[in-house]
């Protein structure tokens, strides 16, 4: 692999508090402080004038649907969508068919990633067997198979006692427990946020308390066991406040927000567009603002896309029957730049940190930095380029994006993984 010299970029590395125009040097797939004069002459050069160079983005919440649901997405196609969005490391959820509740399925995922992924793919394992919430999965075996966390994402463990035991075992194996916070009894048949809009549309409402109760439960269990709990896709302003108070006490909890919960509210469902149907549901403007406030003060730690592909036939149904979930990987950076950067006045380095070093730290991934010696994962993007997003032309197998047809600002130009260009000028290099 030839050495690489990226020049004239605005280099932003939040992990090192670096923000200055300069260059990056890569040798043998890793960052180095510099190259010799001879190496510079021979190096492959990328003139990044006018672009931002930051660590490859990190997403700790994606659904790549393999094994068993590759008509929606595969590890190969999902990784290409990730690369197109500037992501170089992703953490896959285990709600596949069959679920990743054993070492064999985890090995299948690792093998599929080794064969076809263009970015780093990290698997998670289930908390419970079959994600049924009845008995614990073999957590030690899952850890030995290479999972970076355990979660029943898509389902929430309803038994407090079972969740307590899961946290105790997870702490023994030094694994984070990621939880989809939802009281199932309060959301049976619900399809959108409970409030004025659900009443107006005649749709079954989903109370925010269903999330808040489980968030509080997880905080209590984390504090009693000492285990690390990561709270997924927070949507409620009341949950944000519960997490804020827990962190003030020193609780070992982290939390994420999604681009769609930061950008949209339940008002967007006025036309019954199923591309705005997700779990948890879009909530109110007050909730949306609370999420932004939580990211600003550190109550919420990072952005996770919850990239959840579904086929057009699945989404093109009556609202009650369409599945929850939206695409997120190819649009996440532009949405974050708009909602947090331009509209909410976050510094660019802070926005990038929420997409790089913070999620990497939560899952203990070797990613999220441009430091010498680190794996040379890089995202080069133009923060000011306007572009029209066409979900039909994207790299995902599915098309279920609420941003389809919208003009976004901030575009990924080049993505490098371990010093190799995997995406450039709208094309995947494989």
Catalytic positions, written as ranges: 306
Residue 140 Cα distances to 101, 102, 147, 299, angstroms: 11, 10, 10, 31
Q: How many residues does the chain have?
A: 430
User: CA-CA distance, 218 to 298, in Å (whole number)?
Assistant: 19
CA atoms within 13 A on the CB side of 66: 24
């Amino acid at each position: 692999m030839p050495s690489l010299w990226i020049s004239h970029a605005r280099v932003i590395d939040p992990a090192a508090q670096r923000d200055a125009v300069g260059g990056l040097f890569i040798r043998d797939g890793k960052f180095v402080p510099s190259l010799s004069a001879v190496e510079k002459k021979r190096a492959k050069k990328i003139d990044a004038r006018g672009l931002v160079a930051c660590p490859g983005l990190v997403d700790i919440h994606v659904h790549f649907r393999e094994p068993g649901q590759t008509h929606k997405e595969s590890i190969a196609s999902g990784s290409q969508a990730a690369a197109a969005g500037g992501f170089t490391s992703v953490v896959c959820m285990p709600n596949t068919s069959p679920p990743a509740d054993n070492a064999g399925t985890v090995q299948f995922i690792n093998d599929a990633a080794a064969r076809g992924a263009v970015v780093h793919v990290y698997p998670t394992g289930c908390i419970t067997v079959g994600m049924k919430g009845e008995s614990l999965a073999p957590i030690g075996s899952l850890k030995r198979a290479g999972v970076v966390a355990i979660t029943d994402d898509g389902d929430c463990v309803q038994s407090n006692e079972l969740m307590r035991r899961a946290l105790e075992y997870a702490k023994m194996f030094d694994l984070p427990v990621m939880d989809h916070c939802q009281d199932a009894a309060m959301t049976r048949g619900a399809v959108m946020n409970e409030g004025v809009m659900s009443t107006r549309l005649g749709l079954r409402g989903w109370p925010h308390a269903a999330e808040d109760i489980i968030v509080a439960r997880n905080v209590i269990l984390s504090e009693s066991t000492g285990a690390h709990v990561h709270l997924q896709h927070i949507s409620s302003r009341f949950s944000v406040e519960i997490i804020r108070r827990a962190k003030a006490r020193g609780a070992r909890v982290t939390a994420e927000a999604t681009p769609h919960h930061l950008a949209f509210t339940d008002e967007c469902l006025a036309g019954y567009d199923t591309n705005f149907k997700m779990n948890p549901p879009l909530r109110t403007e007050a909730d949306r603002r609370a999420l932004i406030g939580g990211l600003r003060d550190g109550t919420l730690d990072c952005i996770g896309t919850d990239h959840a592909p579904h086929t057009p036939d699945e989404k093109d149904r009556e609202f009650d029957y369409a599945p929850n979930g939206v695409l997120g990987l190819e649009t996440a950076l532009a949405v974050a730049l708009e909602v947090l950067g331009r509209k909410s006045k976050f510094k660019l380095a802070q926005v990038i940190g929420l997409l790089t070093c913070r999620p990497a730290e939560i899952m203990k991934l070797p990613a999220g930095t441009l430091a010498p010696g680190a794996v040379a994962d890089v995202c080069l993007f133009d923060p000011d380029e306007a572009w029209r997003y066409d979900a039909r032309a994207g790299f995902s197998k599915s098309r279920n994006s609420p941003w389809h047809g919208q003009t976004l600002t901030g575009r990924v130009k080049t993505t490098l993984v371990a010093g190799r260009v995997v995406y450039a000028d709208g094309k995947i290099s494989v």
